[in-house]
Structure 1
């Protein structure tokens, strides 16, 4: 019995040991199962990551010779229609020749050193012919002895990044150019504006303190010098304003079909005085019916600057000729030729650049900044044309520019060119003129200029007064209307005058002739528009245009 009891105890103990071993084995099994599940989950996630990467990036493998042995679908989408378009080929087969020459030595060196490929940028040609930039990363595949079997890696298309980088670089370069132009701009303001001011202030001080000591001839010379200083100052301010507005994108171009010859003749009246002073003959040989598609104010600015330059650098007694011809590409080529002092190659290379120092004096000491030519170039290019120059020292210069032709040459018979000579006209007129101007100095200057053809001059200090005078004097021939007076402006005054007088000629006057204001004046009912200062040559143009017999 004791033997049997002992055996029972042993069995119980053995059973307990077995239970313990079972629990231990079960825990180990459960742990292994959990580890296996985690491993499977990790594998699943890794496969998902690989699939995600392969959907956006190109996963590839090459052998020890650099030939593709595997490609993901992304590579096929980029460079072929099936794996056969890539497998068996080398990366260089998809590169432009110059890129192959650059990359091949780098790849050969990496393979020789069994080095990791890290962020290697290279350009490739996609199957649609477009260039794309690829960022390549790869690791070497080695056997047990460390021999190179190939490379495994990922390529990413970074074309958008590179294009954005190039755009940022371009914008930075434009910013540097813009800053340099602004530096030049302020340099012009600091120097070229100060010089005429200094001359003007100095002469006025001398005349104020010692006027009684000078002869009439000396006073005349002083006033002529003062006039030249202020004229240069005004032209410079006008160009600076136009240039700054263009840089800010504030100039709106309103191209329309315009008669080239008449627009040029109007512009030449403004520069006729310096030409007359230097005894320079200006001729215009352009057909009357030749039309261009351009902005009126812009064309006049171009002509004024080019002809002013020609006069400035042409000796006394010389000639300036303006001509035009139709080109086969539906453009018109306008040429402004002079018999001036010309330019050498070094000066020609600096033209049309703000950072080029070309502000030499004219043949009689006239000041020059070069800004007008830069303005002309930008204006012309904005209208689809181009500007260039031919010149030789001692033989003069010819400035050429093109503008769009209003209609095809085959659609119009232009007829023969007729030569127009710009010269002063002393014919007296008998006109009744109303001057609407609130500035006393401007009113005085305009009144003196009007006397050459006006036998009766009426004055108005406000636009309201101008409207009332016009109502009480229906026989007024011409109204010179300042559009920027306080209160009721000149545009509204013109509208009110047109309600009871449709025939009177109204010319709008403003401080600066800005693009868009001419159209605004015409819409208000004005017949014409020009910028101050008013002189006899501008008024002569008005008289010839509206009152010639």
Structure 2
């Protein structure tokens, strides 16, 4: 400001003064020489004129100097006010390195007075971990008189340490003599945090791309790779540098590249995300690998499409598994067809058993009854016993055929799922057993409120067999106890039938649920060995399982479960 305004104005005033003063001296001397004849008077007038000129000159110099000083003072005050109010932290240090000026922004930041901060007081706010490096760099810059830039943490008025970017430059006086340093500080904490977050994000991205089992890639607008993660070496055997600049089609067999090129052309014309695009690639050793490719379009700062970024996953094992599954499905379909044929043959066999075998059995039974009635008096007791034995054998054969037919029918008949009150069903079965043998003393303990969802007829068969077995194997007990309830085993609801009858050896428990498997002879306990096998098949059709626990002569407990969605609720009992 001083050079632009004060010097030109002073120069103009000085020129004007010289012109007027010169004219005054020249013309006054001429006029005086013409008008005055006395030389002494001329001398005295010249002295007075000189005094007047010197006085005018002194007054003019005083005006110019005063004006210049005022301009300089105003300029200094202006720049000082700018420095004081400047949003950055501004400092100045003398040749000894001690700060002799700190602006208001600095003081507002630290919350300390100017007297506390001047000299090296400002260093008290530097973080202890940064103080040594900060002062060393500061002093080295003063010694070399070079500009410097420092990063350190400075304590703010609220006690928080903030990252500061401190820039200092040497300055010189009007004689180009080194006068000290002046600098400004910028609070770069948020910038630092952003850098750290970005670095952490980049580190996370790099860790993810370099350690994931998938191959991460990026292509430009020409579909040439501009980034390839190291995983490509494991997938295709190529080093990342060998793939950069190539296109995906360069890594595929020719026929596969021809198949996929139209799809990629569409993606380039109309950029959009794509997923699960299966493609065959060639490994470096010539073998083939099936990859599943997914990608998203990328855009630059101006919103222009710039390429794709995506991921490739090796699905060779999955494709091989799918082929094996398809093969197995085909085999299962063939087996299913064979089973369908076998089922039809079984149905035909069941029809034959039901009609063709039962007819002769019926004839045998009727013939025996007729013989017994006609020849009752002629035959002796031994003949009658033989005839009765034939009738009993025929009836036993008929019941066995009926059991087999029912067992076969259970696997084929559709389930009629509905709510079933198992407690009420057990009470009815118990009443029927007691009605058939009223002379037996049996105590039934049946839990209340046990329900389920399933085929009522089939679940009735389950309870009939289990309660019937308990009734049969407790007949040698003076006081028999049979219990039906529900408990929880390993977090699952299990129904049970418990008795205090003959029990069984747990070493033979695996034989209980096999068809025609018996742990007791027919002379000890009647039966055909088909009842528990029927129970197992029904329970399995309801999505459950069945097992038993027992001890010889100490009773047995039979457990069964149903699928969770078919279970009912009741208070669990032991």
Same fold (TM over 0.5): no
Q: Which has the larger radius of gyration?
A: 2
| TM-score normalised by the chain length of structure 2 | 0.38
Higher relative contact order (CA 8 A, sep 6+): 1
Q: What TM-score comes out, normalization by structure 1 length?
A: 0.40
